[in-house]
């Protein structure tokens, strides 16, 4: 066997091995813990579960059980940052997975995959930062999802805002619908947050234009998802893409935005598109944020 044939076989074996590893890692669910000093002085601690990008289908029993287990963390507040769905029949799966969590006060925004079913895509397109994003795909039961969450008492923050008090902490939360498909309308909620409240911003895709709007209005913390943490990352380097205009070094976890250094947490998410069910150096996650007083 010649050098070329050996090289092709080696390359093919490496590719298969990497894909196999990626399929396994996509099931290696983890829970991260992070403490942030962002609450008004004198506030009691607040445990916030940040959950994003479930991309659920009815058959994903393992993922459903992983999400169910998060109720054991006993959060005070749950925030879902979009892309709950990945199938036309997924709303019952979301309700099953989040049944106990929906009994806890919460808030949510939607992502593009809550409106349109996933499609097969060329992975190399994510490297084109100038591409035009188009909303496409079979319509999903968005209104059913929203009804289930709002009937549970969760705040719908899709270009809306609302307030809730937990543990003596008044939360003024506002959000946008998905900036990735230009459904955001921050102007409809813009303006100063309530005095003496914890100012929480929520969006699905962390585009700079939306983050800057939150920063201008002095949000204390912004929660987002969408990036999947890069999904396929290089060890010791990190994300190659973010699927938005956020820099790769902010693809997941805690960082600060802009001159005001606005605190921000981007979730790497729980799921993936069913057409790209792999993760490399980027495990699926939920994050329990312990928010404490900024003394």
* pLDDT of the residue at 181: 97
* pLDDT of the residue at 187: 99
* pLDDT of the residue at 12: 52
Q: Give the residue from 271, 235, 278 showing the smallest Cα distance to 19.
A: 278
Over residues 202-246, the pLDDT tens digits come to 999 999 999 999 999 999 999 999 999 999 999 999 999 999 999
> What percentage of the chain has pLDDT greater than the value 90?
86
The CATH number of residue 249's host domain is: 3.60.21.10
Over residues 99-131, the pLDDT tens digits come to 999 999 999 999 999 999 999 988 878 888 778
- What's the total number of domains in the chain? 1
Residue 53, helix vs strand vs coil = coil
| Residues in CB range of 36: below 8 A, 6 or more apart | 221, 254, 263, 265, 289, 290, 291, 292
Q: For residues 51 and 292, is the Cβ–Cβ distance under 8 A?
A: no
Alpha carbon distance 232, 238 (integer Å): 9
* pLDDT of the residue at 49: 99
Q: For residues 162 and 173, is the Cβ–Cβ distance under 8 A?
A: yes
- Predicted confidence band of residue 9 (pLDDT cuts 50, 70, 90): very low
Strands of the chain (E only): list them: 30-39, 46-51, 77-81, 106-109, 155-156, 161-166, 169-175, 198-202, 221-224, 233-234, 238-239, 253-257, 262-266, 285-293
DSSP 275: T
* pLDDT of the residue at 4: 47
Residue 238, helix vs strand vs coil = strand
DSSP codes of every residue in 164-232:
EEETTEEEEEEE-S-GGGT---GGGT-SPPPTTSEEEEE-SS--HHHHHHHHHTT-SEEEE--SGGGSB
State how far the alpha carbon of 113 is from the alpha carbons of 84, 150, 178, 284, in Å: 7, 19, 10, 17
Of residues 59 and 17, the one with the higher pLDDT is 59
Lowest-confidence pick of 17-21, 162-166, 179-183, 212-216: 17-21
Residue 3 has pLDDT above 90, yes or no: no
Residue 276, helix vs strand vs coil = coil
Average of per-residue pLDDT values in the chain:
94
Domain that holds residue 137: 3-293
Across the range 74-92, mean pLDDT stands at: 99
* pLDDT of the residue at 16: 57
Over residues 182-208, the pLDDT tens digits come to 999 999 999 999 999 999 999 999 999
């Amino acid at each position: 066997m010649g050098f070329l044939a050996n090289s092709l076989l080696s390359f093919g074996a490496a590719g298969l091995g990497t894909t196999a590893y990626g399929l396994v890692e996509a099931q290696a669910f983890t829970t991260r813990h992070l403490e942030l000093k962002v609450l008004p002085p004198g506030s009691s601690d607040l445990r916030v579960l940040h959950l994003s990008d479930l991309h659920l289908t009815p058959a994903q029993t393992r993922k459903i059980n992983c999400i169910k287990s998060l109720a054991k963390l006993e959060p005070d507040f749950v925030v879902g940052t979009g892309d709950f769905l990945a199938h036309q029949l997924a709303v019952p799966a979301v309700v099953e997975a989040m049944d106990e969590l929906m009994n806890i006060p919460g808030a949510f925004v939607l992502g593009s995959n809550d409106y349109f079913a996933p499609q097969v895509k060329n992975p190399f397109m994510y490297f084109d930062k100038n591409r035009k994003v188009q909303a496409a795909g079979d319509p999903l039961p968005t209104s059913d999802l929203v009804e289930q969450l709002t009937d549970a008492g969760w705040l719908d923050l899709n270009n809306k805002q609302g307030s809730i008090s937990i543990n003596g902490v008044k939360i003024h939360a506002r959000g946008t619908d998905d900036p990735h498909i230009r459904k955001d309308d921050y102007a409809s909620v813009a303006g100063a947050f309530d005095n003496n409240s914890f100012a929480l911003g929520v969006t699905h895709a962390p585009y700079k234009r939306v983050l800057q709007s939150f920063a201008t209005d002095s949000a204390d913390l912004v929660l987002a998802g969408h990036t999947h943490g890069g999904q396929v990352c290089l060890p010791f380097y990190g994300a190659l893409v973010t699927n938005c205009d956020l820099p790769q070094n902010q693809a997941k976890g805690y960082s600060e935005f802009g001159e005001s250094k606005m605190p921000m947490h981007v979730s790497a998410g729980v799921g993936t598109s069913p057409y790209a069910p792999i993760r490399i150096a980027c495990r699926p996650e939920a994050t329990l944020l312990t928010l404490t007083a900024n003394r």
